Amino acid sequence: MNEKIQRQIFNILEKKGIKNFIGVPDSTMKHFIDEGLKKEKILITTREEEAIGIAAGISMSDEKSLVFMQNAGFANSLSTITSLIKLYEIPMILLIGWRGFLKDDAPEHEKIGEIQPELIKIIGLESKIIDEKNFKNVCDWAMVKLKKKKTIGLIIKRDFLD
Amino acid sequence: MIRKEAVRLIAKEIGNQPIISANGFMSRDLYETNEKESNFYMIGSMGLASSIGLGVALKNPRKKIYVFDGDGNILMNLGSLVTIGSLKPKNFIHIIFDNKVHESTGGQPTNSKIIELERIAEVAKFKTYKITKNEQIKKIFSKIKKENGPICILVKIEESSIRSIRVDISPPNIKSRFMKSLK
């Protein structure tokens, strides 16, 4: 996803009421994170579970949060999603990079990239792939779900190699 | 001093203020001895009490937020101390009940008798205190009332076979009550 749209997505979500952006960086969404860093709205944590825990505390204080992570971090977070977010019904947006989407990505991303769509489905996380064409509608969809107290996933494909 | 006794005495000092308590026997002891709506009892997601507490503390600067953690629990999320120490929330009080074992799973050892948790907290810029006897509780709690956090209190406890009842409130209900108490 290009730089301009990544920055735009950050600004749309912020304008719509997401006040906290917490997580572990992913180069797939580095411009999104950079936009937040410029505005001093980003909290970088040591692990993804930690980010979800902080977002849970914020959500229970009636503020909206987004947690960003790589898909490796999504794999780290499975137990936190089942035994905290789902169990207590705590709403937040999970923005998850999709490495391994391209077949020739680095080897450590291949397996998780392959099973990611199914993993998201099995864990019962409602999600949409966000891209350069649909991003405005998907942001609207995410905010509607959040208002209904749902946790949802936004997936960004890794469509380049470095 | 055993955990149940320490939890009872410390929660009494804290009164009506919010407590986020770790999963396992920690939450069960708190539930049996000092049940109140501003207790967030964790069931599962081990290691995250301090992270949830941090989120609550950041958004409720006028309230003091207490975290009841265990040695095994914080050892699963040591990075949390780095994040908290960097943000320095003044209203964050982290109480670690240290019995040197994973008591909830059968008493397997943690390494907190080799590596001192209070020194890790100190490096992470927490103000640290240590409680080894129940007579110290009142004194330390009256002292920290006037101090800014983040504060870490390590409470040395002994293993025990006393078991508290399970938390029988549904997790969504634990959350709703807790949220209402913050308002």
CATH topology of domain A3-157: Rossmann fold (3.40.50)
Are the beta carbons of A84 and B44 separated by less than 8 Å? yes
**Taking CB atoms and an 8 Å cutoff, what residues of chain A touch B179?**
60-62
ipTM for the complex? 0.96
In 3D, which of A54, A49, A47, A25 has the Cα closest to residue A37? A25
* Residue B88 belongs to domain with CATH number: 3.40.50.970
- The answer, yes or no, to whether residue A109 has pLDDT greater than 90, is no
Q: What pLDDT score does A102 carry?
A: 79
* Among candidates A51, A59, A87 on the partner chain, residue whose Cβ is nearest the Cβ of B43: A87
Please compute the mean of the pLDDT values over residues B95-113 and round it to a whole number: 91
The answer, for B109 touching chain A at a CB cutoff of 8 Å, is no
User: Given pLDDT bands bounded at 50, 70 and 90, which one contains residue B110?
Assistant: very high
Instruction: Compute the distance between CA of residue B161 and CA of residue B98 in angstroms, rounded to an integer.
Output: 15
Looking at the complex, report in whole angstroms how far the Cα of residue B123 sits from the nearest Cα belonging to chain A. 16
Give one DSSP letter per residue of A50-118, joined into a string: HHHHHHHHHHTTT-EEEEEE-HHHHHHTHHHIIIIIIHHT---EEEEEETT-STTS-HHHHHHHHHHHH
Residue-range domain boundaries for chain A: 3-157
User: Given pLDDT bands bounded at 50, 70 and 90, which one contains residue A4?
Assistant: very high
Instruction: Compute the distance between CA of residue A60 and CA of residue B52 in angstroms, rounded to an integer.
Output: 9
A85-104: b (≥16 Cβ within 10 Å) or e: bebbebbbbbbbbbbbbbee
- The answer, yes or no, to whether residue A103 has pLDDT greater than 80, is no
Tens of pLDDT, residue by residue over A28-85, are 999 999 999 999 999 999 999 999 999 999 999 999 999 999 999 999 999 999 999 9
Helix (H, G, I), strand (E, B) or coil at A41: coil
Helix (H, G, I), strand (E, B) or coil at B46: coil
Q: What pLDDT score does A101 carry?
A: 79
In 3D, which of B108, B107, B116, B21 has the Cα closest to residue B70? B21
Tens of pLDDT, residue by residue over B13-67, are 999 999 999 999 999 999 999 999 999 999 999 999 999 999 999 999 999 999 9
The residues, any chain, with a CB within 8 Å of residue B23's CB and separated by 6 or more, are: B42, B43, B44, B45, B46, B49, B73, B104
**Taking CB atoms and an 8 Å cutoff, what residues of chain B touch A47?**
77, 79
* Among candidates B50, B54, B175 on the partner chain, residue whose Cβ is nearest the Cβ of A88: B175
Looking at the complex, report in whole angstroms how far the Cα of residue B183 sits from the nearest Cα belonging to chain A. 8
Q: Which of B39, B42, B43, B45 to mutate to test the interface with A (most CBs of A within 10 A)?
A: B45
How many structural domains are present in chain B? 1
Are the beta carbons of A55 and B55 separated by less than 8 Å? yes
Q: What pLDDT score does A158 carry?
A: 86
- Type of residue at A47: R
Which stretches of chain B are DSSP H helices? 3-14, 25-34, 49-59, 71-75, 79-87, 117-123, 136-144, 171-182
**Taking CB atoms and an 8 Å cutoff, what residues of chain A touch B58?**
54, 57-58
- The answer, yes or no, to whether residue A88 has pLDDT greater than 90, is yes
pTM, 2 dp? 0.96
Instruction: Select the more confidently predicted residue: B146 or B174.
Output: B174
Tens of pLDDT, residue by residue over B57-96, are 999 999 999 999 999 999 999 999 999 999 999 999 999 9
**Taking CB atoms and an 8 Å cutoff, what residues of chain A touch B51?**
45, 49-54, 56-57
| A62: alpha, beta or left? (left if phi > 0; alpha if psi -120 to 50) | left
Which residues of chain B from 147 to 176 reach within 8 Å of chain A, CB to CB? 171-172, 174-175
Give the domain extent around B94.
Answer: 3-182
Q: What pLDDT score does A117 carry?
A: 92
- The answer, yes or no, to whether residue A160 has pLDDT greater than 80, is no
- The answer, yes or no, to whether residue A162 has pLDDT greater than 90, is no
- Type of residue at B35: E
Which residues of chain A from 71 to 90 reach within 8 Å of chain B, CB to CB? 79-80, 82-84, 87-90
Cα dihedral value B166, B7, A81, A67, nearest 10: 160
- The answer, yes or no, to whether residue B127 has pLDDT greater than 90, is yes
β-strands B39-41, B108-109 pairing = unpaired
Smallest CA–CA distance from A81 into chain B, residue:
B45
- The answer, yes or no, to whether residue A110 has pLDDT greater than 90, is no
